[in-house]
């Protein structure tokens, strides 16, 4: 990006590594394609940030153990402090956190919203208490509940949403199975930027469903009335406004992209070139990864580089190609353990959600003698 476009990091994210990031705005910060590294886990100082409204005051993370959360819609509703949650159970969850709008920049109809390329995603380890454990301790979910609804801790500025003062998301009840309430990420107390002191984590589901600064977890009959649930994050046709009649953005599809070489203007010398990237499987492990150097005409199987940290994590891959001088279109395509393969075409939709097209994510390189 030209130097004049470089925006400063906002105060709450000053500790991040500016050289690895693209700052779209104070609340939308993307990881550069080449800054992912090859160690499975994304360092926190390079992890993307997305806030729909400004985060709450930094002071809320000063005394994390005193943070309170209400659990509703169970037989014995209860308010816990974070200190109490810490004694109820412990689960570490390596997983991809990815914004619903990651890859929006590649939609030809130019949807409004942050023009994320590949970097509104990272793979991190959240640690917290399994929600299933809490629910069991509280006598189970009340009869007739179909959704799990998380309520965020910041206030939506007046006038933005007539139906809610809080960021609220509902997911199908079945998502509870592997979900946790997390207070730690990559071994550190959860920072404000990523939802500290406490965050709802729903692995396999897009970023927005992972409610930060969570102050209430409710099992509900209906989805939250908040606009972020009813109107945005829905699959509507291009040109059509989203509404409750459209499918909500929940589960992530399989996806991969090349992270090195990372940019179209990378100039490479002929000879062996290691092509690297990341592959995620969505709701199942990535089980196969292929690379193409001819824009998808032919494919060859690449190998996974790092360990398998479970079905919700991504895996780095590598493929060594012996390249003669010329121009190449590099692409990658993953298949998950359920047999779903990343498609060539994106699923068109008005707001530019869930882009997992391998075509859209190609990198064109120039190899010289």
Applying CB under 6 A, the residues found at the interface with ligand MSS are 47-53, 97, 99-101, 152, 154, 167, 194-195, 206-208, 210-213
Least separation in angstroms between residue 289's CB and ligand MSS is 24
Return the number of other C-beta atoms located less than 10 Å from residue 79's C-beta: 12
What's the length of the chain? 369
Least separation in angstroms between residue 57's CB and ligand MSS is 14
Is the peptide bond between 89 and the residue preceding it cis, with omega within 30 degrees of 0? no
Least separation in angstroms between residue 35's CB and ligand MSS is 14
Nearer to ligand MSS, 60 or 129 (CB): 60
Strand 363-368, strand 267-269: pairing: parallel
Q: State the Cα–Cα distance between residues 199 and 180, nearest whole angstrom.
A: 8
Nearer to ligand MSS, 48 or 319 (CB): 48
CB-count burial class (<10 Å; 0-12, 13-18, 19+) for 325? exposed
* 47, 100, 102, 123 from 343: Cα distances, Å: 26, 17, 16, 22
* 220, 251, 295, 314, 335 from 224: Cα distances, Å: 8, 18, 43, 30, 33
Least separation in angstroms between residue 238's CB and ligand MSS is 19
Least separation in angstroms between residue 83's CB and ligand MSS is 21
Nearer to ligand MSS, 48 or 257 (CB): 48
Q: State the Cα–Cα distance between residues 188 and 321, nearest whole angstrom.
A: 38
Least separation in angstroms between residue 227's CB and ligand MSS is 12
Least separation in angstroms between residue 67's CB and ligand MSS is 13
Tell me the β-bridge partners of 30.
22
| Helices (H), ranges, 30-118 | 82-85
Question: How many Å from the N-terminal Cα to the C-terminal Cα in the chain?
Answer: 27
Handedness of CA 64, 67, 71, 72 (dihedral sign): negative
> In terms of Cα–Cα distance, which of 347, 327, 266, 335 is closest to 299?
335
Least separation in angstroms between residue 42's CB and ligand MSS is 10
Q: CB–CB of 69/177 below 8 Å?
A: no
Nearer to ligand MSS, 213 or 319 (CB): 213
Nearer to ligand MSS, 215 or 288 (CB): 215
Q: In what order do the strands lie in the sheet with 78-81?
A: 78-81, 68-72, 216-220, 147-151, 168-172
Nearer to ligand MSS, 102 or 336 (CB): 102
């Amino acid at each position: 990006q030209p130097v004049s476009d470089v925006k400063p990091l906002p105060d709450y994210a000053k500790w991040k590594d500016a050289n690895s990031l693209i700052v779209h705005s104070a609340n939308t910060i993307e990881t550069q394609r080449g800054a992912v590294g090859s160690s499975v886990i994304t360092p926190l100082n390079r992890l993307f940030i997305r806030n729909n409204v400004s985060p709450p005051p930094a002071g809320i993370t000063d005394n994390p153990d005193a943070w309170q959360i209400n659990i509703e819609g169970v037989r014995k509703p209860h308010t816990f402090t974070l200190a109490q949650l810490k004694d109820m159970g412990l689960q570490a969850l390596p997983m991809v956190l990815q914004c619903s709008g990651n890859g929006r920049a590649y939609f030809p109809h130019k949807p409004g919203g942050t023009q994320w390329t590949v970097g509104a995603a990272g793979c991190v380890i959240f640690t917290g208490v399994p929600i299933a454990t809490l629910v069991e301790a509280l006598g189970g979910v009340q009869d007739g509940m179909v959704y799990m609804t998380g309520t965020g801790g910041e206030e939506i500025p007046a006038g933005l949403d007539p139906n809610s003062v809080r960021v609220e998301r509902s997911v199908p009840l079945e998502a509870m199975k592997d979900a946790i309430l997390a207070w730690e990420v990559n071994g550190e107390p959860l920072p404000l930027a990523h939802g500290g002191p406490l965050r709802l984590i729903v692995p396999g589901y897009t970023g927005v469903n992972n409610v930060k600064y969570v102050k209430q977890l409710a099992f509900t009959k209906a989805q939250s009335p908040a606009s972020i649930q009813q109107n945005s994050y829905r699959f509507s046709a291009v040109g059509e406004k989203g509404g409750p009649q459209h499918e909500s953005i929940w589960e992530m599809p399989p996806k991969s992209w090349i992270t090195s070489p990372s940019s179209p203007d990378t100039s490479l010398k002929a000879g062996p070139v290691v092509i690297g990237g990341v592959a995620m499987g969505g709701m199942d492990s990535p089980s196969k990864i292929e690379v193409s150097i001819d824009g998808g005409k032919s494919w060859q199987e690449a190998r996974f580089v790092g360990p398998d940290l479970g079905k919700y994590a991504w895996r780095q891959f590598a493929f060594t190609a012996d390249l003669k001088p010329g121009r190449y279109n590099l692409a990658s395509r993953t298949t998950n353990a359920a047999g779903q393969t990343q498609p060539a075409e994106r699923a068109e939709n008005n707001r530019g959600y869930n882009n997992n097209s391998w075509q859209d994510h190609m990198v064109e390189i120039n190899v010289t003698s």
